[in-house]
């Protein structure tokens, strides 16, 4: 399933992205990179404080994180990893994984809006 993700930037511009959606129903999210395309939206539906996302072997990307109010809380780069495990732990409720390179400054990210894509 895909949804339209709209990222609002502080300078008034917006980035629209049709992203594949994954629901995080437990504290740990694992997905083989061969079955998941970027951009990717992770919607956290469990009630725990944090989610552990296993990005081992995943494609290079930037992980944008948003809180319950959908405001930007932080970001992580997932890039140039070789062998070995790579996980991030996040308190975010909405996580958008974008392919690199990113054409706007991370600090300009402000807010997230999510829309259903009409068939």
Partner 1 sequence: MSSQDVLPLSADKRAQGYGVFPYVILRLHGGVYMQFPIHFYEEKNPEKPGLRVRVDSLTNEKQNFSSLFNVVRQFHQQINPVEAKALKMCLVLAPFVAYFFEDNAFSFSDEIPEGGSLIDANYKVLALNSVHFLND
Q: Smallest distance from the beta carbon of 73 to partner 1, in angstroms?
A: 19
Candidates 10, 16, 81, 115; binder of partner 1 (CB under 8 A) is: 16
- Work out whether 9 is an interface residue with partner 1 (CB under 8 A): yes
Side by side, which strands form the sheet with 28-30?
28-30, 51-54, 87-90
Closest to partner 1 by CB, 51 vs 64, is 64
Q: Is 30 in the site for partner 1 (CB under 8 A)?
A: no
Cα 1 from Cα 14, distance rounded (Å): 22
Q: Nearest distance from residue 67's CB to partner 1, in Å?
A: 22
CA 11, CA 52: separation in Å to the nearest integer? 32
The closest alpha carbon to 111, from 14, 17, 2, 41, belongs to 14
What is the secondary structure of 7-30 as a DSSP string? EEETTS-EEEEEEEEEEE-SSEEE
The only residue of 87, 104, 115, 117 in contact with partner 1, by rule CB under 8 A: 104
Binding-site member from 1, 10, 18, 71 for partner 1 (CB under 8 A):
18
40 to 79: interface string for partner 1, x by CB under 8 A: -------------------------------------x--
């Amino acid at each position: 399933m895909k949804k339209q993700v709209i990222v609002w930037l502080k300078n008034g511009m917006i980035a629209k992205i049709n992203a594949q959606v994954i629901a995080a129903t437990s504290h740990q999210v694992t997905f083989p990179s061969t079955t998941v395309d970027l951009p990717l939206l992770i919607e956290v539906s469990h009630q725990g404080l944090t989610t552990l996302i296993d990005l081992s072997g995943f494609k290079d990307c930037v992980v944008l994180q948003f809180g319950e109010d959908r405001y930007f809380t932080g970001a992580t780069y997932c890039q140039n990893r070789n062998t070995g495990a790579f996980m991030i732990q996040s308190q975010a409720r909405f996580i958008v994984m974008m392919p690199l390179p990113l054409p706007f400054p991370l600090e300009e990210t402000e807010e997230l809006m999510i829309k259903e894509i009409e068939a």
